[in-house]
């Protein structure tokens, strides 16, 4: 049945299929997620003072506007990260901007932080009846902003009362100039402002896999210096390993199976650079229990998935949670 449903979804334009999936998850969650339930039961993990029901989280990007949180928890995730949310609504980049690379089990996107604005998303979060797992809110800056540090500070300020943790996203390749904020001293200014705005809410930083070793070491050191609670390694890549799909030449960030080796290597580099001072969350190319185990063995406390849901199905979170219990 899962293969039949996937084949049906694959007949739709990728962005239309994405919207249909979010609507279906929202309806299912609103009905109490029958035959699903909350996060898969496993050994809880403590990070940044938070107790995660299991080690598997949903990465930001799937539920950009916090519309389907209950349904996503119903799939077994111990943590769900929504966003990226910006201070003001924005349409994102021109369509088409989302591409399936079926032969490679990958996705290329150049969405550009399309979202309805943080206020609308926070209103939905405030109406949630229950939150059985950990909720993260991923914040970013508007494309046309003249003061991106101020955008991040505002996002953190607004998200803090509603989030279990907040992620600073400076690693998307689809907003021009955004990745420049991963480098010092710009990153120091940004993290200082975010730290001042967060109150007591844990703060995570998400970096790109395209940073060289020196760049990653600088980001790790800045995160430690500014008391960031965890580093998410990593976002999509602008690099292009060998790919078989016709859409391989599309511009944007590549995610999914081809990112596996690079993401794992960057996790190891981050572990070495942090010397155990900074908890690590691994994302990128995790497509099942075996790879999730490798990331935990390589130094990650938690793992996140996104693109693999498209190719491996809605049972992915529960299978990984059970394997990592």
- Residues designated as active site: 172
Task: Say if residue 200 is exposed, middle or buried (CB neighbours under 10 Å; 0-12, 13-18, 19+).
Answer: exposed
Tell me how far CA of residue 272 lies from CA of 246, 289, 291, in angstroms.
37, 24, 20
**CB within 8 A of 256, min separation 6: which ones?**
101, 104, 105, 106, 107, 285, 287, 307, 308, 310, 311
Q: Is the dihedral of CA 297, 298, 300, 301 positive or negative?
A: positive
Please answer whether residues 136 and 82 qualify as being in contact, where contact means their C-beta atoms are separated by less than 8 angstroms: yes
**CB within 8 A of 27, min separation 6: which ones?**
71
Distance, CA of 138 to CA of 159 (rounded, Å) = 9
Strand ranges of the sheet holding 253-256, from the earlier edge strand across to the other edge = 98-101, 106-109, 253-256
HEC states along 106-170? EEEECCCCCECCHHHHHHHHHCCCCCCCEEEEEECCCCCCCCHHHHHHHHHHHHCCCCCEEEEEC
Other residues' Cβ atoms within 10 Å of the Cβ of residue 37: 15
Distance, CA of 231 to CA of 10 (rounded, Å) = 33
How many residues are given for the chain?
Answer: 325
Distance, CA of 110 to CA of 96 (rounded, Å) = 9
């Amino acid at each position: 049945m899962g293969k039949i449903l996937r084949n049906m979804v694959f007949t739709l334009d990728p962005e239309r299929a994405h919207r249909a999936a979010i609507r279906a998850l929202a309806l299912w969650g609103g009905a109490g997620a029958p035959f699903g339930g909350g996060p898969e039961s496993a050994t809880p993990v403590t990070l940044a003072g938070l107790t995660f029901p299991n080690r598997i989280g949903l990465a930001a990007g799937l539920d950009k506007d916090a519309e389907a949180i209950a349904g996503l928890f119903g799939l077994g995730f111990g943590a769900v990260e929504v966003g990226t949310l910006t201070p003001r609504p924005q349409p994102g980049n021109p369509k088409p901007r989302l591409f399936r690379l079926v032969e490679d089990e990958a996705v290329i996107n150049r969405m550009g932080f399309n979202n309805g604005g943080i206020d609308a998303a926070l209103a939905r979060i405030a109406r949630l009846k229950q939150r059985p797992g950990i909720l993260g809110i991923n914040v970013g800056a508007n494309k046309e902003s003249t003061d991106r540090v101020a955008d991040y500070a505002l996002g953190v300020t607004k998200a803090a009362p509603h989030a279990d943790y907040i992620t600073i996203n400076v690693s998307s390749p689809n907003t021009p100039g955004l990745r420049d904020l991963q480098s010092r001293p710009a990153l120091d200014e940004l993290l200082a402002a975010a730290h001042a705005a967060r109150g007591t809410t844990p703060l995570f930083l998400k970096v790109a896999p395209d940073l060289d070793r020196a760049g990653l070491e600088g980001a790790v050191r800045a995160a430690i210096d500014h008391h960031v609670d965890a580093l998410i390694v990593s976002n999509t890549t602008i690099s292009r390993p060998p790919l078989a799909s016709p859409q391989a030449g599309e511009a944007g960030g590549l995610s999914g199976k081809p990112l596996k080796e690079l993401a794992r290597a960057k996790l190891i580099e981050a572990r070495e650079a942090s010397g155990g001072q900074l908890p690590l969350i691994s994302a990128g190319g995790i497509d099942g229990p075996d790879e999730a185990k490798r990331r935990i063995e390589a130094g990650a406390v938690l793992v996140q998935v996104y693109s693999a849901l498209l190719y491996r199905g809605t049972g992915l979170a529960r299978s990984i949670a059970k394997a990592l219990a």
